[in-house]
Amino acid sequence: MRSQHLFSRSQVTDFNILKDPKQIIYIGMLTSDQEAERYREYSIAGNNLQNKFIRVSNPDETINIKPTSLTDRTSDLTNYGFSLGVLMQRIVRVFRYLATITKTIFKLYKSIKKQSRPITVFYNVDYYNFLLIQLAFLLRSKIIIIAADYVSPPRTFLDRLFLMPYRQADGVIKLRKNNDFLGQNLLLTAIVDPNHGFDCLDIGAKNVLYSGSIGYTTGLEIIIEAACKLPDVTFNISGPLFDLSSEDFYKRIKAARSSGGDVKYHGVLQNDEYLQLLRRCEIALSMRNPEDPDHNNNFPSKIADYFNNSRCVVSSIAYEELSKDSYVFSDFTSNDLSKVIRRLFDDESIIFAYGKKGYEFAQQEFSLNVSRRRLRRFINEI
């Protein structure tokens, strides 16, 4: 097995930047890593981004909105027909939601009123915070919205409704380059902690990682087909199932294995377990369907993690936000993906080169201190 340290990493000091007189109130739906990994109601990637944003913004107050019900990721979702029991469950959830929002409205009102120059930061615009954003507008708080997941151009009435606050806000923090918003914009594509990075890449067993939300729009079918074309490569999968049932998923895995594919599903992993798996893989995949508009404006935080751990990244979307020499592009087809992976394993120097460039890019563009400085300048201008 070959091992190569890509370059000596200088320790990045996690220093505090003095606050200006503006007071930051953060409102989101976040929890511990363990709870996010366990329950379907939390987005693991969204939870990670929010926790990192809290770390770099150091808000004066954080208001956390808890889901009104929690479903274990290991349980199968059942599509119930209409029944009295299902109706009562939905009514109870509506009342819980109203109680939660009412309580949060009073909390936000008191938080804004006690500050002299409040800036309220919201994560996305959704049903759970739409009324809170309107309240912040009425109370004349400055408003920043993190545009991590939205649809533009809008396809439904709700899409149009949820886009309105973005266009009225004093500032928008976006993950992708676009001209969707008026006023002050900050591009903050991803945030990584250099101290959790890894600047060494081993090549030997031909391991590939496919992680994140597992589903057809994120490339499951393409990756399984590529695995059948590359029987000498192990395809490791981790993360929650997104747009398919567990029965359908395991049928696809079984069919792939019967066709010669070496596919292993590791489930939803704790962060330490995930990093161990990542560091056993030479190549990490981000295969999102470029025709799906849901992928137009968000950014896979997993790519930043892969960069921060010196992995060679293969992506089906060409990201203007990334340097072209930091990752490998593949069409969203199994034929092209299998050819790209074969070419990489046939020339180890290419894998090392992309691992080095990606790691260097993450330290220069995504690190905590870089993100903190950019965010502070942005807030000062609002």
CATH number at residue 355: 3.40.50.2000
**Quick check: is 280 in a domain?**
yes
**Quick check: is 13 in a domain?**
no
The C-alpha atoms of residue 157 and residue 176 are separated, in whole angstroms, by: 23
Both 186 and 255 in a single domain?
Answer: no
Both 250 and 181 in a single domain?
Answer: no
**Quick check: is 218 in a domain?**
yes
What confidence score (pLDDT) does residue 82 get? 59
Both 95 and 130 in a single domain?
Answer: yes
Both 166 and 312 in a single domain?
Answer: no
**Quick check: is 262 in a domain?**
yes
What confidence score (pLDDT) does residue 15 get? 40
Domain extent for 38: 21-73+85-191+367-380
Both 151 and 272 in a single domain?
Answer: no
Both 245 and 334 in a single domain?
Answer: yes
Tell me the pTM.
Answer: 0.89
Both 69 and 158 in a single domain?
Answer: yes
**Quick check: is 3 in a domain?**
no
**Quick check: is 264 in a domain?**
yes
Both 205 and 351 in a single domain?
Answer: yes
Q: Which residues of the chain have pLDDT under 70?
A: 1-20, 76-82
Both 344 and 216 in a single domain?
Answer: yes
Both 182 and 201 in a single domain?
Answer: no
**Quick check: is 242 in a domain?**
yes
**Quick check: is 322 in a domain?**
yes
Both 186 and 199 in a single domain?
Answer: no
What confidence score (pLDDT) does residue 204 get? 84
Structural domain tally of the chain? 2
